[in-house]
Amino acid sequence: MPIADHILSELRAVLGDRLSTGESDRTLHGASETFHSAPPPDAVAWPLTTEEVSAVLKICNAHGVPVIGWGTGTSLEGHALAVRGGLVLDMMRMDRVLDIRPADLLAVVQPGVTREALNTELRATGLMFPVDPGANASLGGMASTRASGTTAVRYGTMRQNVLGLEAVLADGTIIRTGSRAAKSSAGYDLTALLVGSEGTLGIITELTLRLHGQPEDVAAAVCAFPTLEDAVTCVAQTMQMGVPMARIEFMDALGMRAVNLHLGSNYPEQPHLMVEFNGAPEAVKRDAELFGAIAEEHHGAGFAWATSLEERNRLWAARHASYYAALKLRPGATGISTDICVPMSELPAAVAAAAADMHASGLIGDVVGHVGDGNFHVLMLLEPGNQAEIAIAKGVAERMAHRALAVGGTISGEHGIGVGKRGLMEAQHGPAWAVMGTIKRALDPNNIMNPGKMVPDMN
């Protein structure tokens, strides 16, 4: 049911020409990076202020119009698909860095600031915002999905790096959570409740973020291993020994082949680890030596060090390109990226089982991962619209998730739930899934905030 004209008129009174029902705007804001799909939203709005967001939500709440937040559209589980129609709020025009306080190691930003834009602004301060999911995502979107990425092993995910939020709830109430202090013991942790809630509880309109000093010294390296098991066991042992890795990433042989195809590089087409060390020069040297010794035990070879910024950028570009690179393994294909996270001792078996399952299923794809956290992805390449292949891939993904749960892991390390993982929520959370629904119902009784996602069906 499209949004009635009188409701659009009310919205237009708030937003003027920053409300669109044009087909191209709707189509752009109904797209997904993956095979997940839904009809486009009924309208798109570009608010400029928190007060506008509040006014829009009041109108939508009064009329039961779904509201879906939108950042850069780079989510991989269809989080922002308007599965029940409604209004997409594109937050990308609220893109100001409001305050940088180097002495307090924090920044205050609007949700449409991207992580790269923030880091560009921070360059002169000697500080950085390290959370890096690969895509140049918006910080509001990263908070909504509890994003992490390659550096989480050292600096934490959005959970650890959001100190406070301003958000607008379904009824238009504007709240502030958290504080600018490093810690607080004053009440329910509403910041943590909103981070990762995927727009189902409110729209984030401001973030207070924890900053970190740029490391004095950085060294990075790639290292090839004869087998997947060697590489992943090396990771488990490195983490168990407490080597303070800044990044420790796994890519399998096919992943390296994809990178070579995509970037014209000539890495050996074997399982690799890509690692980074941050700190004082002597610490970096020591950590690198420690890791080198562990890697050697596991038949790691061909260490290629990248110490200059340029070489390091090239190395991490290879890792970050892996999603788009993999698409070259099967031209024209769509990717479906699974995402699980397991306790470290379970990682070697989990990676091996996932790879074996994918190969046995006859699909082409690769395995990459933020393995220092026990988090990895199997990226499968599917012919667009081939329902049989999609069904096979979903089977692989579901079995991965169930194996993760069986060993105390989680169905999503960082990609979130969206529409792709909702069917697994009860398996992971049991009665706690209904509790999530109770909280949602209490804060959004008309179920307008990104309905049809995250919690059990309400209506």
Q: 364 to 423, contacts with a copy of itself by CB under 8 A?
A: 373-375, 404, 407-417, 421
160-190: string of b/e by CB count within 10 Å (b at 16+)? ebbbbbbbbbbbbebeebbeeeeeeeeeeeb
Q: What is the torsion angle, in degrees rounded to the nearest 10, for the CA atoms of residue 141, residue 147, residue 152 and residue 153?
A: 180
Instruction: Pick the closer one to a copy of itself by CB: 416 or 452.
Output: 416
Instruction: Pick the closer one to a copy of itself by CB: 16 or 188.
Output: 188
What is the smallest separation between the CB atom of 403 and a copy of itself, expressed in angstroms?
A: 13
Encoded amino acid at 4, one letter: A
9 touches a copy of itself (CB under 8 A): no
Which H or E run contains 308? Answer: none
Q: Find the farthest-apart pair of alpha carbons in the chain and give their distance in angstroms, rounded.
A: 70
Q: Which of residues 104-133 bind a copy of itself (CB under 8 A)?
A: 104-106
Instruction: Pick the closer one to a copy of itself by CB: 66 or 374.
Output: 374
Instruction: Pick the closer one to a copy of itself by CB: 90 or 373.
Output: 373
Total residues in contact with a copy of itself, by rule CB under 8 A: 88
Q: Which of residues 208-237 bind a copy of itself (CB under 8 A)?
A: 212-213, 236
Q: What angle do CA 313, 317, 321 make, to 5 degrees?
A: 175
**Is 248 in a helix, a strand, or coil?**
strand
What is the smallest separation between the CB atom of 329 and a copy of itself, expressed in angstroms?
A: 26
14 touches a copy of itself (CB under 8 A): no
98 touches a copy of itself (CB under 8 A): no
What is the smallest separation between the CB atom of 165 and a copy of itself, expressed in angstroms?
A: 10
Which parts of 150-250 fold into alpha helices (H)?
152-155, 158-161, 190-194, 228-240
Instruction: Pick the closer one to a copy of itself by CB: 3 or 67.
Output: 67
- One of 341, 381, 382, 400 touching a copy of itself (CB under 8 A): 341
298 touches a copy of itself (CB under 8 A): no
Stretch that binds a copy of itself, among 32-40, 53-61, 315-323, 433-441 (CB under 8 A): 433-441
- One of 261, 263, 283, 364 touching a copy of itself (CB under 8 A): 283
Q: In whole angstroms, give the CA distance from residue 199 to residue 417.
A: 11
Long-range contacts from 401-404, C-beta under 8 angstroms, 24+ separation: 401/338, 401/340, 401/427, 401/428, 402/427, 403/340, 403/350, 403/353, 403/354, 404/340, 404/341, 404/342, 404/350
What is the smallest separation between the CB atom of 246 and a copy of itself, expressed in angstroms?
A: 14
- One of 321, 344, 353, 364 touching a copy of itself (CB under 8 A): 344
- 252: its two tokens: 């399998």
What is the smallest separation between the CB atom of 379 and a copy of itself, expressed in angstroms?
A: 17
Residue entry with tokens 């096919």: 254
Q: Which of residues 160-189 bind a copy of itself (CB under 8 A)?
A: 160, 169, 173-177, 179-189
139 touches a copy of itself (CB under 8 A): no
Residue entry with tokens 């997904």: 32
Q: In whole angstroms, give the CA distance from residue 367 to residue 33.
A: 18
Q: In whole angstroms, give the CA distance from residue 353 to residue 363.
A: 14
Stretch that binds a copy of itself, among 112-120, 196-204, 221-229, 268-276 (CB under 8 A): 196-204
Instruction: Pick the closer one to a copy of itself by CB: 185 or 266.
Output: 185
Instruction: Pick the closer one to a copy of itself by CB: 40 or 451.
Output: 451
141 touches a copy of itself (CB under 8 A): no
What is the smallest separation between the CB atom of 344 and a copy of itself, expressed in angstroms?
A: 5
Q: In whole angstroms, give the CA distance from residue 363 to residue 379.
A: 10
| DSSP string for residues in 111-158 | TT-BHHHHHHHHGGGTEE-----SS--BHHHHHHTT---TTHHHH--H
Stretch that binds a copy of itself, among 11-19, 312-320, 387-395, 439-447 (CB under 8 A): 439-447
| Residues forming beta bridges with residue 274, ordered by sequence position | 222, 249
What is the smallest separation between the CB atom of 78 and a copy of itself, expressed in angstroms?
A: 14
What is the smallest separation between the CB atom of 22 and a copy of itself, expressed in angstroms?
A: 33
Which H or E run contains 299? Answer: none
- One of 5, 431, 457, 459 touching a copy of itself (CB under 8 A): 431
What is the smallest separation between the CB atom of 33 and a copy of itself, expressed in angstroms?
A: 16
Instruction: Pick the closer one to a copy of itself by CB: 21 or 184.
Output: 184
Instruction: Indicate the pairing of strand 97-101 with strand 106-109.
Output: antiparallel
3-state helix, strand, coil in the chain (%, to 5): 40, 20, 35
Count of H helices and E strands in the chain? 17, 19
Q: Which of residues 239-268 bind a copy of itself (CB under 8 A)?
A: 239-240, 242
134 touches a copy of itself (CB under 8 A): no
- One of 5, 6, 23, 103 touching a copy of itself (CB under 8 A): 103
